[in-house]
A and B are shown apart, each in its own frame.
Chain A
């Protein structure tokens, strides 16, 4: 094991983890503003408010850290970390360029990634429970229910890609990728991306943090740095879900001059998906809690099963 090599990879993963979510956040500020006929942040940093999130970070770091008197102190304080760290772990397994362009090749890639992604929700559950606040508790439970509903279609859609490629390794999937897979797996792609949105509690699936019903759900009692870490987790989640959709369904680094420009294609496709995430937030009203459950069980799960059947038939017919 080359110590320097591993060290560099760790550093690169941490850098990506800290920079990409901020880029998505700033893009969200600006894109939302322009879609709503505003200009968004313009002051911080001078040029079109590019330093707005840096300024936010400085503000968060200076704020008092209030733990409610009735709260379960330790669990309350630990929750943001539990929500955040899984996304860092997932990032290391996502390939971004051909020929070793990945933090670490993991043979059971899809499996590892989906398993670790599920852990992040524990952070919201912990926060919701430990806050000793009725609204937080409701928000935490809604988060949990949402994970239960959407993890299944996500798993099934990912399994369909694994069937197509004949491997569960993310690098292996990209190695086997061919362009006609995009239309072939398109149902799975939509299911996966939608389920990902729901797991991140992004609009229109943001009932767990619905401000008009339950204040801010599990995060109601959080202030300062801990609140900032929850926000960072949300945006890191967007990066991870978009990158995974790219790798599984859109061919990852595949594109013209992939040998040299592979990482550009990965970033570009991820960025386009992140834009769609913001776009959906601006254009779609929030689904009601029961509607969220119904969409998952009566639309996404059957669609995912259909995709698996389609994948299986096409693959076996091609083989023979």
Chain B
């Protein structure tokens, strides 16, 4: 158990190093660079002409269905990892294979259903 925490302690230290790196870079950048803001310079860039309307414009997020699909599939797939470490243990034999194909079958049917419903095409 101590080993387990040791591993993530080092990861934590790396995160600290990363944050320090960024902080030093930003700090040094502040010292090095000029600061001459003008109102033109602070305009939002839209191909060179003055921006039209609000920056946070309404957009149609057409791929929200993909997001749903992703959540469903990803939650399913996470269970693959613990299973992957034990599925070939002696004694399971064909049973795990059947289980695997049931699992893959569910995923495939889900995907096929989405496909047939036309969710995977835009127009």
Cβ 8 A contact of B25, one of A13, A229, A297: A229
Using known A-B contacts A89-B11, A135-B46, A215-B45, determine if residue A298 contacts B18 with beta carbons closer than 8 Å: no
A293: Cβ under 8 A from any B Cβ = yes
Whether A285 sits at the interface, judged by CB under 8 Å, is no
Instruction: Please choose the segment from A160-168, A194-202, A242-250 that sits at the chain B interface, where 4 or more of its residues have CB less than 8 A away.
Output: A160-168
Residues of A within 8 A of B33 (CB): 61-65, 224-225
Contact B22–A162 (Cβ < 8 Å): no
Q: Looking across the interface, which residue of chain A has its beta carbon closest to that of B67? A: A148
Docked Cα-Cα span, A131 to B93, in Å, equals: 56
A309 near B101 with CB under 8 A, answer yes
Interface residues in B1-18 by Cβ distance below 8 A to A read 4, 6-11, 13-15, 17-18
Among residues 21 to 61 in chain B, which have CB atoms less than 8 Å away from a CB atom of chain A?
A: 21-22, 25-26, 28-30, 32-37, 39, 41-47, 51, 55-57, 59, 61
A162-B84, A166-B85 known; A152 vs B13 contact (CB < 8 Å): no
Residues of B within 8 A of A224 (CB): 29, 33
Q: Which residues of A contact B34 (CB under 8 A)?
A: 62, 64
Hey, which chain B residues are within 8 Å of A64, CB to CB?
Answer: 33-36, 41
**CB-CB < 8 A to A131: which residues of B?**
44, 55
User: Once the chains bind, are B87 and A149 in contact (CB under 8 Å)?
Assistant: no
Per-position contact with B for A58-91: 1 when CB-CB < 8 Å, else 0?
Answer: 0001111111111000000100110011001100
Contact between A220 and B81, CB atoms less than 8 A apart: no
With A62-B33, A141-B61, A215-B45 already in contact, the answer to whether A163 and B107 are too (CB < 8 A) is no
A85 close to B18 (CB less than 8 A): yes
Type the 1/0 row for A161-193, where 1 means its CB is closer than 8 Å to any CB of B: 011001110000000000000000000000000
Is the CB of A39 closer than 8 A to any CB of chain B? no
Count how many chain A residues have C-beta atoms less than 8 Å from C-beta atoms of the other chain: 77
- CB pair A84 B90 closer than 8 Å: no
Judged by DSSP, the binding face of B is helix
A6–B12 Cα gap in the complex (Å)?
12
Could you give, for residues 63-107 of chain B, a 1 whenever the CB lies within 8 Å of some chain A CB and a 0 otherwise? 100110110011001101100111110101110110011001001
The answer to whether the Cβ of A103 comes within 8 Å of any Cβ in the partner chain is yes
Residues of B near A320 (CB, < 8 A) are 93
How many A-B pairs with Cβ below 8 Å?
211
With A68-B44, A70-B44, A162-B81 known as contacts, the answer to whether A106 contacts B17 (CB < 8 A) is no
Near B by CB (< 8 A), chain A positions 127-147 give 129, 131-135, 137-138, 141, 145
| Minimum Cβ distance to chain B for residue A8 (Å) | 12
Contacts of B120 in A (CB 8 A): 293-294, 297-298
Is A159 close to B, CB under 8 A? yes
Within A272-316, which residues are at the interface with B (CB < 8 Å)?
Answer: 290, 293-294, 297-298, 301-302, 305, 308-309, 312-313, 315-316
Residue pairs across A and B with Cβ atoms less than 8 A apart, 12 shown, are A62-B33, A64-B33, A66-B42, A81-B19, A104-B7, A105-B7, A133-B45, A138-B59, A155-B78, A297-B114, A305-B107, A316-B87
Residues of B within 8 A of A (CB): 4, 6-11, 13-15, 17-19, 21-22, 25-26, 28-30, 32-37, 39, 41-47, 51, 55-57, 59, 61, 63, 66-67, 69-70, 73-74, 77-78, 80-81, 84-88, 90, 92-94, 96-97, 100-101, 104, 107-108, 111, 114-115, 120-123
Ordered nearest first, which 6 A-B pairs have the shortest CB separation? A132-B55, A85-B18, A69-B42, A225-B29, A162-B84, A163-B84
